[in-house]
Amino acid sequence: TPRADNQCLVCGEPTLDLESQRKLLLNLAKRSILDKLHLSQRPILSQPVSRAALRTALQHLRGPPQGALPEADRGQEYEIISFAETGLSNINQTRLDFHFSDRTVGGMEVQQVRLMFFVQLPPNTIWTLKVRVLVLDPHDANFTLATQHLLEVDASGWHQLFLGPEAQAACSQGHLPLELVSESQIAQSSDILGGAAHRPFVVARVRVGGKQRVRRH
Amino acid sequence: GIDCQGGSRMCCRQEFFVDFREIGWDDWIIQPEGYAMNFCTGQCPLHVAGIPGIAASFHTAVLNLLKANTATGTTEGGSCCVPTAQKPLSLLYYDRDSNIVKTDIPDMVVEACGCS
């Protein structure tokens, strides 16, 4: 604001005309930004960046696109536990059946299946166990082998075994039959049944496919 | 704060917007489109010294004016018109290697001015 004698109030210099003042302020703004970015001059782009790359970077910066449901809303995830029912068994072979009612897995996507089991072993022993995943053969209504896992258990306590896609498919159909075969004399496959407190169970992590919502069981 | 309007000579905030396109910086600065380089200007006579920004009221100013006038000789100065509220400037820009960089520069945008 010029004083009567047209000098700047603060610095006493003659006041600038508007255009010069504007240039001064623009230069001041440039200098201020470059200094804060620790740049001696403005960057010269050696190669242009594609619009697509820019859009992706901006999306990363702003988080999920507007309107997209956050992960949890896109489908709720549950863990469904099913305790083993024992089927036929002999000394070194035991059949376990896990059932899921239509109401619980119907319309759900089974993402992961874990078998949890408890064993009691003598110290310093390793028990070799084969876990077979069975499927129902549509032709003759018998169970056939879908896949098998070989386990070496070296300590007493609870153990878990992640089962593959065959087991996931079986769970989504409501019934997962497993067959345990003991490969050594250390223990019998039926030992895995344990008492009521140590009954084997399966944990199926499922995601609601959006068709229906089911409460946690 | 008091925004500068018309012929006010008192300490106020002068808005000044730098359009990056106008200065040819819109090729390397992606966001935002410009920078509000507001600044503080105007007088801080004795009776408003020490009353930063919106806390000043007409009643206080008048009372202070009376006090100041009774003080021997009112001299200007000793109190400057300075920013009392500022906010950062968030920039998204390309660096020399065409990487996309995001930086928040603190205290770059003056929101309010007052007399120190």
Contacts of B18 in chain A (CB under 8 A): 25-26, 29
Q: How far is B116 from chain A (nearest CA, A)?
A: 14
**If phi over 0 gives left and psi between -120 and 50 gives alpha, with beta otherwise, what is residue A216?**
beta
Contact between chains at B37 and A29 (C-beta distance less than 8 A):
yes
Q: What is the ipTM of this complex?
A: 0.76
Average pLDDT over residues A53-65: 67
Beta bridge partners of B14: B39
Cβ contacts of residue A94 below 8 Å, gap of 6+? A86, A179, A180, A189, A190, A192, A193
Handedness of CA B48, B53, B56, B57 (dihedral sign): positive
The whole-number pLDDT of residue A33 equals: 93
Average pLDDT over residues B12-29: 91
Contact between chains at A57 and B100 (C-beta distance less than 8 A):
yes
Q: Does any CB of chain B come closer than 8 Å to the CB of residue A24?
A: no
Residue with the two structure tokens 């409460």 = A215
The whole-number pLDDT of residue B37 equals: 92
The residues in A 52-91 lying below 8 A from B, measured between CB atoms, are: 53-54, 57-58, 61
The whole-number pLDDT of residue A172 equals: 85
Q: Report which residue type is found at A136.
A: L
Contact between chains at A61 and B102 (C-beta distance less than 8 A):
yes
| B15 vs A212: CA distance, rounded Å | 55
Range of lowest pLDDT (A41-45, B33-37, B52-56): B52-56
Torsion of CA A189, A191, A194, A198, to 10 degrees: -60
Average pLDDT over residues A136-150: 79
Q: Is the pLDDT of residue A65 over 60?
A: no
Cβ-based neighbour number of residue B113 at 10 Å: 28
Over the stretch A83-140, which tens digit does the pLDDT of each residue have? 888 776 777 788 889 988 776 666 778 888 999 888 888 888 888 888 888 887 777 7
Contacts of B41 in chain A (CB under 8 A): 1
